[in-house]
């Protein structure tokens, strides 16, 4: 049963047939700590007959979320250590994150900002704080790109988005505006002409990094949303998280990356899960991830290859952790591994 409204309570999870009545109390304990919202679009994709459904796994609360391992942390990628003013994260010299809002249309159970987002999270920046954030960007001429994230910035109304974009238009050294969002797949109807016009109103090049983790998310409505955005001149990239029980096999990853490319979304990052509290049941080992990425390399077109990324805990930035396929040898040559696991000499040994 699809409720045709966002699911935001344990009672609605029961009503929609997503949890059993007997699980209500254990799930309620999770939702008291971490926000819950499942959009009608995502709810409609869940197969109730599959106890391991990959869409449900991403959005339906799980009692294991209350188990925090010793290595998990509230701020796993160190945003707060690089926040000079409220709403700004300035980790890399030429770009900043602007976190104008901390609510989302859906709440992913593996979210690395799960301690900060949701109705009880950090909320939306007050006008004075937002202007202070713009002032910081304005005073730092090395900032070439502004990345709007949160929360999900596309939950803001077109009017508010237009006001923010017009403010960025006044800052000459900012050339690129990027949005990190799930909206085109979880609420594709939001991506209408009014929203697109607001995104384009600053006159700068706009990029959208689309977060999706399973090929089923790229359904007909999501495809339409992506088409409208790309046709308007907005460049789209993908961002996915490697998740146990969701996309931790080559076939699923290949289908997801092909779906992106078929819809003019360039595969960008495949993120290793961050050390967010209560998310250990989603994490693979890095070695498992490297094997999957190596197998993917030999399975699908180069157009479809994402970069396997780890955000180093503590705020030290991203590292490419894809398995290295080349190793230096003492004689000055190299051993190169192919996607089937074969090892070859480079330069090759001379023929006898």
Contact in structure between 217 and 55 (CB atoms under 8 Å) = yes
Q: How many CA atoms lie within 13 A of 25 on its CB side?
A: 1
Q: Kindly report the backbone phi and psi dihedral angles of residue 99, in degrees, each rounded to the nearest multiple of 5, phi listed first.
A: -100, 85
Residue 222, both tokens: 């999501």
Residue with tokens 């409505």: 221
DSSP 8-state assignment for residue 188 = G
**Helices (H) then strands (E): counts for the chain:** 11, 12
254 backbone dihedrals φ, ψ, rounded to 5°: -60, -45
Q: Which residues are catalytic?
A: 91-92, 95, 104, 108, 111, 113, 274, 311, 318
- How far is the C-alpha of 177 from the C-alpha of 217, rounded, in Å? 25
Residue with tokens 């602007």, as numbered in its chain: 98
* Coil vs helix vs strand at 213: coil
**DSSP string of 33-45, one letter each residue:** TS---B-HHHHHH
Q: For the chain, how are helix, strand and coil distributed in percent, rounded to 5?
A: 35, 20, 45
Element (H, E) at 319: strand 318-320
Burial of 164 (0-12, 13-18, 19+ CB in 10 A): buried
């Amino acid at each position: 049963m699809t409720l045709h409204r966002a699911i935001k309570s344990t009672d609605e999870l029961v009503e929609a047939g997503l949890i059993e009545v007997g699980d209500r109390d254990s799930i309620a304990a999770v939702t008291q700590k971490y926000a819950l919202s499942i959009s009608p679009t995502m709810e409609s994709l869940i197969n109730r007959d599959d106890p391991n459904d990959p869409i449900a796994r991403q959005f339906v609360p799980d009692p294991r979320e209350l188990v925090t391992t010793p290595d998990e942390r509230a701020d796993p990628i160190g945003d707060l250590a690089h926040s000079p003013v409220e709403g700004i994260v300035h980790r890399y010299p030429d770009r900043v994150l602007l976190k104008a809002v901390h609510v989302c249309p859906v709440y992913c159970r593996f979210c690395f900002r799960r301690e900060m987002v949701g109705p009880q999270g950090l909320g939306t920046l007050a006008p004075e704080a937002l202007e202070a954030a713009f002032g910081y960007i304005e005073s730092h001429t090395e900032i070439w790109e502004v990345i709007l994230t949160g929360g999900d910035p596309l939950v803001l109304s077109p009017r508010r988005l237009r006001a923010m974009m017009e403010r960025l238009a006044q800052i000459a050294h900012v050339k690129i505006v990027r949005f990190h969002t799930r909206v085109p797949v979880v609420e594709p109807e939001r991506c209408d002409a009014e929203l697109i016009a607001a995104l384009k109103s600053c006159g700068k090049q706009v990029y959208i990094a689309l977060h999706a983790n399973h090929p089923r998310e790229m359904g007909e409505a999501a495809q339409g949303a992506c088409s409208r955005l790309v046709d308007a001149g907005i460049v789209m990239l993908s961002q996915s998280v490697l998740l146990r029980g969701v996309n931790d096999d080559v076939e699923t990853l290949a289908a997801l990356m092909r779906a992106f490319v078929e819809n003019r979304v360039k595969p960008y990052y495949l993120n290793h899960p961050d050390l967010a509290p209560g998310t250990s049941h989603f994490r693979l080992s890095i070695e498992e991830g490297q094997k999957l990425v190596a197998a993917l390399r030999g399975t699908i077109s180069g157009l479809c290859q994402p970069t396997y990324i780890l955000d180093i805990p503590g705020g030290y930035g991203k590292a490419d952790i894809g398995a290295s396929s080349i190793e230096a040898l003492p004689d000055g040559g190299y051993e190169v591994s192919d996607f089937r696991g074969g090892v070859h000499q480079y330069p090759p040994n001379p023929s006898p």
